[in-house]
Chain A
Amino acid sequence: MSRRQSLSPLVVTAAVSVLLAAGCTSDRPPGATGATTSASASAGSGAATEGANTGEQSKFFVQADFDAQLAMRGKEAQGPADRPWEQAIDPKMVSTADYKKKAGDRHLCFSNAAVNNPWRQVGWKSMQAEVALHKEITKFTALDAEGKDDKQISDIAELQGQGCDALIVSPNTTATLTPAVQAACEKVPVIVFDRGVQTDCPVTFINPIGGYAFGADGAEFLVEKVPAGGKVLALRILPGVDVLETRWSAAKVIFDQSKLDVVGVEFTDGDAAKTKSIVSDYIQRHGKIDGVWMDAGATAVAAVEAFEDAGQPVPAIVGEDQQDFLQKWKQEGLTAIAPTYPTYQWRTPIIAALKILNGEEVPETWKLPQPKITAENLDKYLQPNMPPLHYAMCGCETMPGFPANWGGK
């Protein structure tokens, strides 16, 4: 009996080594291909061959959207400069006369994809605060789909029977929610924000410029700050999610045109410990890393710490507008940039809904400005009294209940 057992680790090793070998030679799932080949291919080669290390372009990449978003960054948004959540870039106004209701009490409804991450938490708080600002909203019915498509589909159906004057939807996924939104459009004016749907039946679709602009902001910063031939490590959360794929695909385009050597593209699962381990491994393997690109900032501090713990200066790094990163940036005087996907976009749908019910024009596609935090404006966004995962671009500083309702002191 004991002999039989003692065999097991050896058998397992055999099995695993077979698996390892298979992993090295056979076709891998398309989503993973880019990252894996780039990392293994680059391990031995020191030369910066253009485009060789970033893998294949994402199947989510659309050149026209990329060009449009990059162009949009330079355009002046229309509307009050101190209230970016009311601004719009290149608005094409549509009439809402058909939806006009006589002045009086408003009942707004909201189908929310989820509140399962800090970004959505901050946004959701801001939306509730926006509702509180308007006395005419006498009823606000919100349902949380908890990240499940099927729950959101039934949520949207349920809200149609609640006598909503307008329905706001933040879709969990694009394709699956489209029919549900289409059905709702027939009964009530619909406002969609954050992720989109594949129909133009909503009165307006609200979101910031987008993922290509986000990814490009970070990549361009590294191209500017890291000397030619410098080694850049790209960290992504996970493959296959459109909003994250666009960020990376834009960065890839920019890295491929540059003289930078992308030594690896790795997936962190958004896990701080894993991020720190991966960055430590790269520092060990390459001796020195000259720049870090990230598709989201939640683990940026862990990446910074990996350099600190290795006793190395922190290279140019891309984060996001979370307070913990901004604080580290200020404290250590980092060379950094924080592209943002502003949470203030959660205020806009409420404003849009009221405009629509008053019969005022709204932009058909409401593109909000998407600022980036740089060394010049860092102090404006750094708020030491806010929790570490608070997003600075919330547009909520002057709202009633700030900072306590957002977890601040």
Chain B
Amino acid sequence: MKRTIPILVVLAALLAAMAVVNPFFLEPAGFLAFVKRAAPLVILAAGQYFVIVSGEFDLSVGSLVTVEVVVAARLIDGQESATWWVLLLLVAIGALVGLVNGLVTTLLSVPSFITTLGMLLILSGAVFLWTGGAPRGALSQAFRVFGRGDLGPVPWSVVILVVVAAAAVLLMRADFGKRLMATGDNDRAAALSGVRVARTRILAFVLSGLAAAVAGILLGGFAGVSAQVGQGLEFSAITAVVLGGVVLGGGRGSVVAAMAGAFSLEALFALLNLYGISGPLEYTVQGVIIIAAVAAGAAQFPSRLRAST
């Protein structure tokens, strides 16, 4: 839990800064609008956390999100009746892509960096081939409710986020979480103590794929069909996880901190936008964060400085 505190402090500071710049943020509607906007990235970060804490990467989530949205639009094509089976199919696609990532990484011993980079290229190429750059079809109203509509005063995406977050926390508290942590910390030791390392990692990839499916459903619902919807999301998710103090290489870090990292990143982007700084600088900020966070994790600070914090 201690590890979670710094990112929560950061998040609180960013939220306070937002409230100063934009008082509407303090009203329930304004705050919920922010949570709604952050929900897809937070869910992706939770998925990415499972993979990273098991000692791997998942670079394919951004293009997977695009695939989900483009496939949904093409298959639903505006018919309300198609909504539910397409939703199920999307979840299955997410799980399948995660499964393939996991199998290739573990059974074929391909480093996950390469596996998922390859998957990113395969998926984005496939989307382009299938759509020719212009997605067809349209999403149904029932589909879009999840990203756009409200359940009473609360946006649906916030409800879904709460459910996903609770599930993620419970998973990490269960035996699975301990096995995952052990795998990421030292897979040899974990294997010797009876953890089925490959199976654990495969499951982590499947969870990341599922998270991408949910994020895709929310993003497609929020803003409609686009062939660029998932662009760069893999880096945002990894940045969020790293910002949450989760160690690349695995074995350390909490899922709550990873999600708080995603909220912080989203708050930072919103803040940059409120100050009128946006566009390319967002990438710069992410780059600085990734390097600074990993450097801070690796640097040896003098003990006095350490004590003072």
Q: Give chain A's interface residues, CB within 8 Å of chain B.
A: 2-13, 15-16, 19-20, 23-24, 29, 32, 35-40, 43, 115-118, 120-122, 238-239, 264, 266-267, 269-273, 275-278, 280-281, 284-285, 299, 301-302, 305, 309, 324, 387-389, 407
Contacts and interface: CB of A to CB of B under 8 A. Distances in A.
**Chain B interface size, under 10 / 10 to 19 / 20 to 34 / 35 or more:** 35 or more
Given A117-B134, A285-B274, 17 more contacts: A3-B306, A6-B5, A6-B6, A8-B293, A11-B292, A23-B275, A32-B279, A40-B276, A116-B128, A122-B134, A238-B279, A269-B228, A281-B273, A284-B24, A302-B224, A309-B148, A407-B136
Contacts of B309: 7, 10
8 contacts: A2-B2, A6-B2, A35-B279, A39-B276, A270-B228, A272-B224, A284-B24, A324-B138
B111 interface: no
A115 B132 contact: yes
A388 B70 CA distance: 13
Contacts of B9: 9-10
Contact of A272 (B138, B226, B261): B226
B280 A32 contact: yes
Contact of B224 (A12, A39, A118, A305): A305
Contacts of B37: 277, 280
Interface stretch (B100-108, B174-182, B203-211, B240-248): B240-248
A39 B285 CA distance: 19
B33 to A, nearest CB: 7
Secondary structure at chain B's binding surface: helix, strand, loop or mixed? helix
Contacts of A299: 226
Contacts of A10: 6, 9-10, 296, 309
B6 A281 contact: no
Nearest to A120: B133
Given A117-B133, A272-B226, A275-B223, A267 B278 contact: yes
Contacts of A43: 274, 276
B15 interface: no
B297 A4 contact: yes
A152 to B, nearest CB: 17
Contacts of B275: 20, 23-24, 40
B276 A11 contact: no
A387 B137 contact: yes
B234 to A, nearest CB: 15
Contacts of B306: 3-4, 7
A122 B271 CA distance: 39
Contacts of B292: 8, 11-12, 15-16
Contact of A7 (B30, B244, B280, B301): B301
B228 A271 contact: yes
B215 to A, nearest CB: 11
A117 B224 CA distance: 17
A6 B3 contact: yes
A16 B288 contact: yes
B51 to A, nearest CB: 19
Given A7-B301, A9-B244, A12-B243, A2 B285 contact: no
Q: Please give me the 10 A-B residue pairs with the lowest Cβ-Cβ distance, nearest first.
A: A39-B276, A118-B134, A8-B296, A272-B223, A40-B276, A11-B296, A273-B223, A9-B6, A15-B292, A267-B279
B195 interface: no
Nearest to B132: A121
B109 interface: no
B3 A5 contact: yes
Given A9-B293, A16-B288, A272-B229, A388 B281 contact: no
